[in-house]
Structure 1
Amino acid sequence: MDKIYLREADRLEVTVIIDNYTDIFMAQNKDVDIRLSPSEPILAEHGLSCLIKVFSGSEEYLILMDTGMSSKCFFNNINALDIDINKIDSVILSHGHFDHIGGLVELFNQVSNEIPLILHPEAFLNRRLNNPSAGPNEIPNLNEDMLKNAGAKIIKSEGPYILASNLILLTGEVERKTIFEQGFPWAEAKINGEWIVDPFRDDQGIIIKLKDKGLVVISGCAHAGIINTINYSKKITQTEKIHAVLGGFHLTGPLFEQIIIPTIEEMKKINPDYLVPMHCTGWDAINQFKEKMPDNVIINTVGTTYIFE
């Protein structure tokens, strides 16, 4: 693969609009500038949404990743955090699951300008959870027509996609090489008319390269595997140093308990300066990360802004 030209950013701010947890008294980290000052009550739900602001010289770009499970939570927190949605340059979808798409249609209904929505074409698949003891249960899916009618400018990309004047890179489909990261066998997708175990080809991460620091990798759920996502990010940017990893690592629930320790062991080898596990990482895995990587891990709460520079 040819090297992708990813410019170095001078500064990065990541504001967590939606996550599973909220605690306004969360201890702050002495090494990262963290702000937590919502002007109104802020809500948590099973979902994820992050506002990513990247700077280079006088340039500034505002990118939204995902919109949580519900428009109610999304817009409550947007207002509490005093975020102007009309300043968003692009919207990125990490994948097409219901807990990441909830506020999308209403967002595009409310913005006054046309904003690109960048996603993998399989983000529109019909999906279900097929628990062997409970049977299949279809989950809400992303509706392309509703998004277009709301004014979204949809950009479909399977591979790496560069935006924000080469300051932000989407991984596109993530290469799967880690032995223990085998996906989610209860998750199914309807492909070519048949329900099969979901390959999650639409799962993608976001990469920013900070000057003199290394890569910041942001995941939605990391259904492709958080270790796979980090290693693929290193490969396509030809950059070894990982400065920070933030997002959902999908280590919660009985199917994933056995890979928590292998994931932590691999993460210790990668040794990011900062690790912020969120959302579907799960409380058990988050606590184990904190126990085994105490100097790296920051416990997140909704409304936090992480400032890297």
Structure 2
Amino acid sequence: MAQKVKITTLVENTAEGDGLLSEHGISFWIEFGEHKVLFDTGQSGIVVRNAEILGINLADTDAIVISHGHSDHTGGLEAVLNFAHKAKIYMHPGALDKRYSIHGGSSRSIGISNGSKKIIESHADTNKIVWTKGPTEVLPGLFVSGEIPRTNNFEVDEQEFFLDENAKEPDVLTDDQSIYFNTEHGLVSIFGCAHAGLINTLDYITKISGVDHVHTIMGGFHLIGSSKERVSKVIDNIERFGIQRIGPGHCTGVEAELEFRKQFPRRCFMCSAGTSCQFEVI
């Protein structure tokens, strides 16, 4: 019997709906049959406000999945944990690393908050925290990828992230991971930021799942500031997977998002806070 899945965007750079707030960040509420999963938590506590407006009870959360340890994906974690008492947290251990970005010659801390880090570390040896270095089944049929191999030569970022405030130790974001599940039409993949590369991720999840067709991709594709050549190669490779629905958001970048909409006008959909989409899992 098919299982219904509904994905609602709780936090994104844009918002649609009365009273909903937006911020530079992302968070998805996944209703997977009878279970509830929160994927990322945005940059601040507005995830709680938006959830309330949308009629979503965070106390029902069975699992929280963290895509990687940047603050625009983990900033709402402390606020969420005030409600999501029963939730297990799925994350790569590297998500707890100190993180910095360099802009205008100065460094800025962009890692997980000390408060969230203390909460996680206090449960590190319990079954509340599930470390996800490799592919992990969060619920029957719902998976998180774990570390994603970088295998192509065009999804290479300019070095902008570091593990130290003096910008001596590059941060390659090995903790970056995505959620995926299979439907009657192919895989659905949800991205936090796709720091590992959109195509690298799709190549990996099709390999480990044994499903070569991808129906839907949505979330942050991390193409902001990317060259036209890189965006073009990503778009060319989209066709390899037969993707029918594309929901670019968050860190995809305006120019890249416009190019997606130009190339795939009937396949693209909005990923703003307050929007939702539905699937059936086989």
Contiguous gaps of at least 5 residues in structure 2: none
Q: SS of the residue aligned with 1:110?
A: coil
- Distance in 2 (CA, whole Å) between partners of 1:10 and 1:278 is 26
Secondary structure class of the residue paired with 2:169: strand
Residue 156 of structure 1 corresponds to 131
Summarize the alignment of residues 169-188 of structure 1 with structure 2, pairs less than 5 Å apart. Answer: 169-188=143-162
Contact 2:144–2:179 (CA under 8 A) maintained in structure 1: yes
2:142 counterpart residue number: 168
TM-score (norm 2): 0.91
What is the CA distance between 1:268 and its match in structure 2?
2.6
C-alpha displacement of 1:140? 4.0
**2:10 counterpart residue number:** 17
Moved over 3 A (4+): 146-152, 255-258
SS at match of 2:19: coil
* Stretch deviating more after TM superposition (268-277 or 212-221): 268-277
Partner Cα distance (1:64, 1:129) in 2: 26
Aligned residue among 76, 79, 82 for 1:109: 82
Q: Secondary structure at the match of 2:72?
A: helix
Q: Aligned residue pairs: how many?
A: 276
Which of residues 87, 102, 118 is equivalent to 1:130?
Answer: 102
Q: Residue 266 of structure 1: SS of its match in structure 2?
A: helix
CA displacement, residues 65-90 of structure 1 (integer Å, 9 cap, x when unaligned): 0110111x212201111111111110
Separation in structure 2 between the aligned mates of residue 147 and residue 305 of structure 1, nearest angstrom? 30
Letter in 2 for 1:274: R
Aligned to 1:304: 275
Structure 1 residues 223, 285: CA separation in 2 closer, same or farther (over 3 Å shift)?
same
Q: Which ranges of structure 1 fall in alignment gaps of 5 or more residues?
A: 1-7, 25-39
State which of 213, 221, 225 in structure 2 corresponds to 1:241. 213
Output the aligned Cα RMSD.
2.3
Output the CA distance in 1 between the equivalents of 2:77 and 2:28: 13
Give CA deviations for 1:116-142 in whole Å, capped at 9, x if unaligned.
1110000001111123x4232222434
Measured at CA, do residues 70 and 184 of structure 1 come closer, stay the same or move farther in structure 2, by a change above 3 Å? farther
| 1:1-309 correspondence to structure 2 within 5 Å | 10-24=3-17, 40-55=18-33, 60-71=34-45, 73-111=46-84, 113-131=85-103, 133-143=104-114, 144-147=117-120, 153-164=128-139, 166-190=140-164, 195-210=168-183, 212-253=184-225, 255-309=226-280
Helix, strand or coil at the partner of 1:197: coil
Distance 1:94 1:256, change over 3 A: farther
Please tell me whether the aligned partners of residues 62 and 86 of structure 2 are also in contact (alpha carbons under 8 angstroms). Answer: no
